[in-house]
Chain A
Amino acid sequence: MAVHAEHLAHAHSESWIRKYVFSTDHKVIATQYIFTAYFMALLGGLLAALIRYQLGWGDQASPLLERLFPFGAQGGVIKPEFYLAIITIHGTILVFHFQTMMLTGGFGNYLIPLQIGARDMAFPVLNMLSYWVFLASCVVMLLSFLVEGGAAAAGWTVYPPLSVHAAAVAGSGLGQTIWLLSMALLIVATLMGGLNYIVTTLNLRTKGMSLMRLPLSTWGVFFASVIGLVTFPVLLAGAILLLLDRHLGTSFYMPTVYIGGQLVETRGGNPLLWQHLFWYLGHPEVYILAIPALGFIGDIIATFSRKPIFGYRLIIISFVVMTILSCIVWGHHMFTSGLNPYIAMVFSLLTILISVPFGTIILCYAATLWKGKIQFTTPMLFAIGFLSLVVTGGLGGLFLGTASTDLYLHDTAFVVGHFHVIMASSVLFAIFAATYYWFPKIFGRFMSESLGKWHFWLTFIGVYATFVPMHVMGLGGMMRRIYSPHAYQYLQQWVPWERVISIFGLILIGAQLLFVVNFFWSLFKGRRATDPNPWRANTLEWQTSSPPPHLNWGEEQPVVYRGPYEFSRPDTAEDYLPQNTPPVGVEVSGNGVR
């Protein structure tokens, strides 16, 4: 079953362009994903800085702003329509173009074939196409800032009718069309990627890699892809209809309205339809992020506690339950929208029940730490930070999933705080942990530990100080997506809070510079990872050289004999036992098959 030597050699004689730009090697594609997604993260972070600036000091003019954004901040003050465009694009690119693509397209792409002992994805050309479509989506999305009317400004949920009529808000002109096109491209890219991840995980596992020996990272990306595969197409259908509503005069979502001094005669449309279709993806999207994040963290926690993960099967069962539940709870985003109240009660109960599998996983991870020989490396710090944030954010979800308390808290800063802890921050922590952990594998060099630790502390403090107070403000009735908190009397007491949050938020964003510096410095100057398995981990990706060769393994694919987390066995000399170490008494024949 060896790969032809010809083929191995053939791959190395390719031109530079074929090898690094239009490559079909999953590792190169993953790296391209990682760089692009981090670039989008940087832009999203800068937009966040603008949001925080506006909320903290929006009443003061700044000449610098005027120079930076002559179109959106005349007189040094951000205009409301520009602010709305900022929050829309901030949300969209950080959720979709950064986190989704980083977890599945980036790390998922890199890890799946390596962790299951395959040579590449099932369909490498499709994998490459997926990246290029994703890149097109990024470019198209960013172009929207340059068109007339500016970028889409209806919030990342683009609820119609606001997103249908150019007269409703400035960004609903060409910018909104571009947003929809970009999302359509992104959906196509996700689907192409997801097909590969699912089929590869199922079909191309190496000998002995049974499902119950898969590392949690692979499981996580697998489940995320499954969710994406059944929910993204529905949003695609919804987006097509929204485009038709905008440009062909159909009335799927549009009742007769009077916008901008003009009667728009569209009969019988139902704006709630879009909300259903959007959240049918939009809520599972959270789990498309959370499940791989949990998977990565599982790998990292096991490695640095030097312990088998507690309740591996329990975690997989919880993943399955979460996958199913996540697809049938979308209505909890619509409790106050005029949703049928009976169905809302069902949605509420199902939503609250998600705390059961979620809590199970967290407790399993916590139990993994118990009496472990914990090594506080940077990835491990981020992993523990992740556990802390996931609990904080998850508990916030109980308030919002309960229908009657959501009557009060819906669309307040509580929601913003909640999803920034559970989705933005905890997933970000997982991404950072994964980056620090797998950097030596991907680039063959270590990231700086001391810079990494500083990065962790500042980020951890920044996240807590920025997003936890938002919960309190939300309890105080502060609305989300408002351009300025000054208009209301009862919000006056929160104005100083906004300013403090802004200070911490800017510290948080600034701290990411440490990461950027660390990343690029380490890329060229970091300590070389001479040992292919520096963390002494068991999973297969660490059993090949760093960075792995083209087609991942030499002549033979590895054969797997045991689960991924055999740490600290009392009967082994070392405290780890790689998955492909043959047990004593098993003869390994020439082709690696027993």
Chain B
Amino acid sequence: MAVSQQQASSRDRRTGFVLGVALWLFTLATLWLFGANLHKMPPPASDFAPQIDAILWVILGISVIGFVGLHLYLGWVALSRPAEVRAIYLPADRPKEWLWVLVPIGLLLVADLTFDHMSNKVWGAFFGKPPANAFEVEVTGQQFAWHVRYPGADGRFGRTNPRLISDENPIGLDLSDPAARDDILLINVMHVPEGRPVMIYLRSRDVLHSFFLPPMRIKMDCVPGYTTRMWFTPQRKGNYEIACAELCGMGHYNMKGLLVVEDEQAVQNWLAQQTPFSKRGQ
């Protein structure tokens, strides 16, 4: 190389210094970025939300340890001056020295299994046996709106058939089914009671959508041909936005609904005011 050994090594020291400082600054900046802004998460509003958040915090804690640990080390490597003329020689592959790697990795494995176990509990509850006394709603996604259906007074959803879908009958409700007569069909608005499990059946009439409730920390895809479902117990009254999280076309960014969590009584009163779909336009 054209530059002398000495020049090169002093240049290396300078670059190393800058790199070390930069790595430590990045670490601080990242920690600050997360620390100062986590409160901007939508406040938890369902029974699942605190549980999922707890897992988030556990993983975040592990991540901070790993992230800070490695960056402290990398920064130290960059900042420390190599004193010797030569690097120390560690002949490749002495399994005893592998312990330096394998012990931290073992700890990581333990941590992995811990939060996987936590996660499985929540997952099991979410997909397990649905609660018996649930308040049932059905949501059908279309480009770009949510059709919300309540079973009406009889508590049963009427049959639907995709072949009956038209502009007048947006979810293909089969009115020959008696259970369908009192079904209430609304668009982009959904009222659910606080403190009672809410079971939402999810369907789609065209493409994939994903029913996303940020404050409840859950989402589930609406798959045409399937009926997927999700349930949660709202824990805080208020108006929340329903978002679509799966790319569903041009208007995806604007496929918004309103979720109102209120008293059971208020929900019933509100439902009583709605006209069933079969009587609409009469």
Contacts and interface: CB of A to CB of B under 8 A. Distances in A.
**A and B: direct contact (Cβ < 8 Å)?**
yes
Interface of A: 80-81, 84, 154-155, 159, 161-162, 168-170, 255-259, 261, 263, 265, 268-272, 305-314, 336-338, 341, 344-345, 348-349, 352-353, 355-356, 359-360, 362-364, 366-367, 369-376, 381, 384, 387-388, 391-392, 395-396, 398-399, 402-405, 407-408, 410-412, 453, 457, 460, 464, 468-469, 471-472, 475-477, 479-485, 487-490, 493-494, 527, 531, 534, 563, 565, 567-570, 575
Contacts of A353: 109, 112
A403 B219 CA distance: 12
Given A369-B77, A477-B243, 14 more contacts: A84-B252, A159-B207, A259-B206, A268-B225, A271-B208, A271-B225, A308-B92, A348-B119, A372-B82, A403-B120, A411-B212, A476-B40, A481-B252, A490-B214
B59 A402 contact: yes
Interface stretch (B130-138, B162-170, B267-275): B162-170
Contact of A348 (B89, B116, B126): B116
A312 to B, nearest CB: 5
Interface string B53-77: 0011001101100110011011001
Contact of A341 (B22, B127, B207, B217): B127
B77 to A, nearest CB: 5
Interface stretch (B97-105, B148-156, B191-199): B97-105
A159 B247 CA distance: 9
Contacts of A407: 48, 52, 126, 217-219
B82 A161 contact: no
Contacts of A534: 1
Nearest to B220: A336
A314 B86 contact: no
B163 to A, nearest CB: 6
A170 to B, nearest CB: 7
Contact of B108 (A268, A359, A482): A359
B143 A311 contact: no
Contact of A405 (B23, B59, B210): B59
B108 A477 contact: no
Contacts of B51: 404
B147 to A, nearest CB: 12
Contact of A410 (B87, B219, B252): B219
**Ranked 9 nearest A-B pairs via Cβ:** A255-B225, A477-B214, A341-B127, A376-B15, A482-B253, A395-B63, A404-B122, A411-B245, A258-B165
A476 B44 CA distance: 11
A468 B88 contact: no
**Which of A256, A261, A527 has most B Cβ within 10 Å?**
A256
B168 to A, nearest CB: 12
16 contacts: A84-B252, A256-B225, A345-B120, A349-B116, A352-B112, A366-B77, A370-B77, A376-B16, A395-B62, A402-B115, A405-B56, A460-B22, A476-B40, A534-B1, A568-B87, A570-B86
Given A376-B16, A381-B19, A479-B212, A80 B165 contact: no
Given A168-B143, A407-B217, A391 B70 contact: yes
